[in-house]
Structure 1
Amino acid sequence: MEILTAAGTMAVVAAVLFLAWWCTRKLAGGSAYRGQSRYMKVIDRVAVAQDRSIILIQTGQKIYMAGVASSEITLLAEIEEDDLVPITGQTESPFQDVSFKELIQKVGGKKKNG
C-alpha cells in the first residue's frame, strides 16, 4: 500500500512539473530565437565562449558578421555571399598558420590603431 502511495505522489509531482513547463512555454511564446522576421534571418551561429557568439545575419542580399555578448552586439564585418564557404568535417583548420589578429584584420578590411 505504501508503494502505491509513493508512486501516486511521484505521478502527481511529475504532472505538476510537466504542467508548469507547458504553461511557461505557452505564456512565453516559445524560445526567443524561434521568432520569425520578414526582413532578416540568422544564417549561422558559433559559440566562442559561455555567453558570447559570432553570428551571420542575412538581410536581403547583404550578409553581416556580428559578435554577440550578453550585454551588446558588435558589427564585425559585411561579407559577400560568394565569400561564404561551407565547412565540412575538417580535422585541420585551413588557418592554422595564420594568427587570430591577422584573420580579424583581413575580415575587418583595415588595420585599426590602438
Structure 2
Amino acid sequence: MPEFLFSLVVLILILVLAYYTTKWIGKKGSMQSGSRMIKVLDRVMVGQDKMLMIVQVQDQTMLVGMTSHSVQKLCDIENADELILQAKTSDTDFSSILNSALHEGWAAKLMGKKKKGDDAE
C-alpha cells in the first residue's frame, strides 16, 4: 500500500510540474512574438525552411521572404488596408465551410441517385 501511495504522489507531482512547465514555455513564446511596432499580418510556408510573410511596420506593409539563413524584403505592398479587408471578408469559420461541403456533397449524391432512378424508368 505505501508503494502505491508513493507512486500516486510522484505521478501527481510530475503532472503538476508538466503543467507549469508548458505554461511557462507558452508565456516565453508569446513574449518573443509580441511587438508594438511590427505586426505579422500573414505567413505561408513555401518549403521546408522557406516562408513568405506580409509584415507591417508602422505605416509600411511589405512582403518578406525568409529562409533558415536569410531574411529579404521582396516588395512593398500598396493599399494594404484593402488587402486586409478582403482577407477578413473572405475568411469564414470552419463550421460554415464544413456545413457547405456536407450540403454540397449530400446534394450531389441525391442528384446522382435521382438521375440513375430517372434512367431506370
State the TM-score bracket (shorter-chain normalisation).
0.5 to 0.7
Task: State the secondary structure of the residue aligned to 2:36.
Answer: coil
Pick aligned residue for 2:67 from 62, 66, 69: 69
Taking every aligned residue pair, what percent have the same amino acid on both sides? 24
| Distance of aligned partners of 1:43 and 1:29 in 2 relative to their CA distance in 1, 3 Å threshold | closer
Q: Which has the higher helix share?
A: 2
User: How many Å apart are 1:88 and its aligned residue?
Assistant: 4.4
Q: Which has the higher strand share?
A: 1
Aligned residues: 87
User: How many Å apart are 1:11 and its aligned residue?
Assistant: 0.7
| Distance of aligned partners of 1:70 and 1:21 in 2 relative to their CA distance in 1, 3 Å threshold | same
Detail structure 1 runs of 4+ shifted over 3 Å in the superposition: 19-26, 28-31
| CA distance in 1: counterparts of 2:23 and 2:11, whole angstroms | 18
Gapped runs of 5+ residues in structure 1? 90-114
| Distance of aligned partners of 1:59 and 1:67 in 2 relative to their CA distance in 1, 3 Å threshold | same
Higher relative contact order (CA 8 A, sep 6+): 1
| Distance of aligned partners of 1:79 and 1:25 in 2 relative to their CA distance in 1, 3 Å threshold | closer
Gapped runs of 5+ residues in structure 2? 93-121
| CA distance in 2: counterparts of 1:15 and 1:64, whole angstroms | 44
| Distance of aligned partners of 1:60 and 1:36 in 2 relative to their CA distance in 1, 3 Å threshold | closer
| CA distance in 2: counterparts of 1:81 and 1:29, whole angstroms | 31
RMSD between superposed Cα atoms in Å: 3.0
TM-score normalized by structure 1? 0.56
Residue by residue over 1:80-103, the C-alpha shift from the partner in whole angstroms, topping out at 9 and shown as x without a partner, is 1267342547xxxxxxxxxxxxxx
Partner of 2:19: 18
TM-score normalized by structure 2? 0.53
Letter in 1 for 2:44: V
